[in-house]
Amino acid sequence: MTDTTSKQGGSGQGRGKPGKRRQVAALPWRGQGSTLQILLVSSRETRRWVIPKGWPMKGKTDHEAAAQEAYEEAGLDGVIVTTPAGDYEYLKRLKSGAARLVKVDVYPLQVTGEHATWPEKGQRTLQWMNPVEAAVAVQEPELRDLIARFANIELPEEERPAPAPAPTPVKVAFERLRRRVTSLWDRPRR
């Protein structure tokens, strides 16, 4: 399942063409045939289902950076393929509220171990799903199709709902504020 070809990472922290940035992602999987499962993680801001992803890392190849993201976001170890299985695009909301188109190269990661603790534990929800569940759960249609191709499944039309619209900057800001107020409210009083 591994390939010896590899792209080099560290390309200016995801900067490519003006207006478009690039990230790398791991597609964590285990099992085979009818027992194949895909791991999805929730995003920190919008809580939608995604795969572990991040910016290319200086000093790491792109597939190594994708594997590092799988560890940081989900506590996973495994064997990662060195060439992407595909890519997808999504609109990333920046802290300024602006949206930027990001292309994500996806590297399959055969999971061989799961850590009890990892850097972002408690910040995300993790869920192993069968390929149909995983494909239907993600918001981005290109990622949905990539998961289906990877798992060699055909999604029936009724299993391909239109993606939910991305949250507006106001909705994201309100959700951040709600979480902050809740965390402050729950603190013990002095």
Asked if CATH classification 1.10.10.410 holds for the domain at 20-185, the reply, yes or no, is no
Distance in angstroms (rounded) separating the CA atoms of residues 165 and 34: 32
Where residue 184 falls among pLDDT bands split at 50, 70, 90?
Answer: confident
- Nearest-CA neighbor of 44 among 100, 93, 99, 111? 93
Output the 3-class SS for the chain.
Answer: CCCCCCCECCCCCCECCCCEEEEEEEEEEECCHHHCEEEEEECCCCCCEECCEECCCCCCEHHHHHHHHHHHHHCEEEEECCCCCEEEEEEEECCCCCEEEEEEEEEEEEEEEECCCCCCECCECEEEECHHHHHHHECCHHHHHHHHHHHCCCCCHHHCCCCCCCCCHHHHHHHHHHHHHHHHHCCCCC
More confident residue, 45 or 52: 52
Give me the pLDDT at residue 102, please: 93
pTM: 0.73
Residue extents of the structural domains in the chain? 20-185
Q: State the average pLDDT for the chain.
A: 83
